Structures are given as structure tokens and as C-alpha cells.
Amino acid sequence: MQENFNNYKSGFISIIGRPNVGKSTFLNRVIGQKIAIMSDKPQTTRNKIQGVLTREQSQMVFIDTPGIHKPKHKLGEFMIKVSKNTLREVDVIMFMVNAEQAIGKGDEFILELLEGTKTPVFLVINKIDQIHPDELIGIIESYKGKFNFSEIIPISALEGNNIDNLLATIENYLPEGPQYYPADQVTDHPERFIISELIREKVLHLTREEIPHSIAVVIDKIKRDEDNENMIRVQATIMVERDSQKGIVIGKRGALLKEVGTLARKDIEMLLGSKVYLELWVKVQKDWRNKMSQLRDFGYREDEY
């Protein structure tokens, strides 16, 4: 742990924005490894995910929040509550927007949430690699009149453009403080959570329509193989809401579930640094997104926020 705090800076940075603006892509880019799942489908981040970046003179703890949207069920209400709560007691708020999208009602709703905050708010315009540079001035002007931002910084989380400048600017705003986490720790989430998210990411990638938002992944067991110490056995259950969804996730002759397992196993092996034997099951829990008891069982706990 950091012992000499003189001139050492540390703090917490909330990343907030509409669904699918690139918050998880940014977090993975900055941390240098995958701790947040990425998908082209909105509302894929459900819990707050903390990523820790330790540098020579600072430690930044980034909090990736669920995209703010109008909730349609108790899970959605939980996601909004998580996002709002992360605005409290952070040192910097990153309001991330998509350069390809005009200001929408979702953006304006977030700006209303930010009204009156004394915390520095950065407007971070992501996906600048997808627009012509001449368009950037108009985008900046459209937001300037809406809020008094401390900083306005355009980036490309995917390509890495201007990320170093953003980090240096954030560092300037952080107070002097201790190193909260060991230098080699990149997230505060346990391995079980990351593994469940990696599996869920593969289902999101391989399915369409109602399936992505109707699934949860529960890790049943992680243990080292008794006969092979270089092998870790992971058993997990993919929860769906209807029998028809179970059939889709399993696929014809089990083909889709097998592909989910193959893709997820590779990411889990990279995370654990070991060979992995992954066993997956699919189970129906009807309307689980509207049942608080099941939300808690699946790891969505309000009392942690």
C-alpha cells in the first residue's frame, strides 16, 4: 500500500450517461483488461462496476454505472437507483455522450439530476472516431448551453484517442489522499461476479430480441480440479424468464449454449490465468426481474448502494 501520501492523489470518478455511449469500453480501455462487459445492446451494465487505475502519483477509482433509462420493471428501477447513488461522494463526475447522437431526453434527464451538484462535471464526448472533426464544434456548442461543465473533453474509448489527456485532467481535480487499493488490483468485484458477467456477455452477443434483458447468470461453484491442479472447474446457471427463452439459449441440439461456453471459457481462462472446465445449465425463473427476492439472489442488492 502507498505509505507516503505527500502529493499523492486519489479519488472516485463516476461515469454516467445514456445506455450504449461506451462507458464499459472506456473502463476496460483505461484499466487495461476486461472487467465490464461490452455489447451493442443497451442497458447491459446492471450493477455499478469499480475499476481501479493506479499510477505513480495517483489512484483513480472509476465507477461504471448502468445507463440511465426509463425503468420498465424492478430490475430497471434498481439500475436507476444505482446510477443516482454513485453521484454522491465522488470527486469527479464524467457525463459521457455519444458523438453520433444528438442531445436526447435521456441526456437532458441526466443533466437535471446533475443540477446543483458541487462536484466537478466533465462532458466526455465519446466515439469521435465515428464523426468528421468539423462536426465536433457543433456538438460541443449544443451541450455548452445546457450545463456549466468543468471540462469538455472529446475522446474515442475504442481507439484510445485523447484518453491520456482525460486522465491527466481528472488527476488535476483529485484531492490528496491515500492509495485505497493495492497497486495490482484492478476491480473491487470478486472473481465470481466477473465470471458471471463474462458468461452473460456471450449470451447477449449471440441472442436477439427479448433474450438479452431476460437473463441472469448465477455461479454455482468454482473449485480447483482434485485430479489436475492446473484446471479450475466452474459451474454456472443461466436464468431465463420463459420456457421459449430456454430453448433459444440452448439452441438446436445445444449448439448455442456450447458456443456460449466456448467463448466464455477463453475469457475466464485469461481472467484466472488457468485452464478452465466450464459447465453451463439453463433454468427458467418466471418474471424474475420483477421479484425482489430473486433480484437479491442473483446479486442485485439495494443495501449495497
**65 annotated ligand binder:** yes
pLDDT digits over 259-268, tens only?
999 999 998 8
Same-domain pairing of 141 and 235: no
Same-domain pairing of 238 and 136: no
Contacts with 104 (C-beta within 8 Å, 6 or more apart), sequence order: 18
Owning domain of residue 249:
191-304
Same-domain pairing of 210 and 298: yes
Cell of 244: 421459449
CATH number for 131: 3.40.50.300
Same-domain pairing of 237 and 289: yes
Same-domain pairing of 33 and 165: yes
**21 annotated ligand binder:** yes
Confidence of residue 86 (pLDDT cuts 50, 70, 90): low
Same-domain pairing of 148 and 27: yes
**85 annotated ligand binder:** no
Same-domain pairing of 76 and 159: yes
**127 annotated ligand binder:** yes
pLDDT digits over 1-27, tens only?
444 556 899 999 999 888 788 888 898
Burial 145-165 (b: 16+ CB within 10 A, else e): eebebebebbbbbbeebbbee
**84 annotated ligand binder:** no
Separation between Cα atoms, residue 120 and residue 114, nearest integer Å: 10
Same-domain pairing of 205 and 162: no
**145 annotated ligand binder:** no
| Residue 267 resides in a domain | yes
Nearest C-alpha neighbor of 159 from the set 130, 200, 138, 120: 130
Residue 167's pLDDT is what? Answer: 97
**106 annotated ligand binder:** no
**284 annotated ligand binder:** no
**155 annotated ligand binder:** no
**66 annotated ligand binder:** yes
Separation between Cα atoms, residue 188 and residue 51, nearest integer Å: 7
Instruction: Evaluate if residue 90 carries a pLDDT over 60.
Output: yes
Contacts with 224 (C-beta within 8 Å, 6 or more apart), sequence order: 231, 232, 233
Cell of 101: 447522437
Please enumerate, as own/partner, the contacts of 289-297 that have beta carbons within 8 Å and a separation of 24 or more.
Answer: 289/73, 289/74, 289/75, 289/76, 289/213, 289/214, 289/241, 290/73, 290/74, 290/75, 291/74, 292/74, 295/74, 295/75, 295/78, 297/218
Same-domain pairing of 220 and 80: no
Confidence of residue 303 (pLDDT cuts 50, 70, 90): very low
Confidence of residue 156 (pLDDT cuts 50, 70, 90): very high
Cβ–Cβ contacts within 10 Å for residue 272, how many? 15
**187 annotated ligand binder:** no
State which of 140, 173, 206 marks the end of a domain. 173
**172 annotated ligand binder:** no
Same-domain pairing of 112 and 158: yes
| Residue 79 resides in a domain | yes
| Residue 178 resides in a domain | no
Instruction: Evaluate if residue 176 carries a pLDDT over 90.
Output: yes
What percent of the chain has a predicted confidence (pLDDT) above 90? Answer: 38
pLDDT digits over 186-202, tens only?
876 667 778 888 898 88
**22 annotated ligand binder:** yes
Residue 305's pLDDT is what? Answer: 38
**195 annotated ligand binder:** no
CB distance 109 to 95 below 8 Å: no
Same-domain pairing of 168 and 203: no
Number of domains in the chain: 2
| Residue 2 resides in a domain | no
| Residue 199 resides in a domain | yes
CATH number for 228: 3.30.300.20
Residue 76's pLDDT is what? Answer: 53
Residue 6's pLDDT is what? Answer: 67
State which of 173, 201, 222 marks the end of a domain. 173
Average pLDDT over residues 88-103: 91
**287 annotated ligand binder:** no
| Residue 251 resides in a domain | yes
**pLDDT, greater one: 181 or 209:** 181
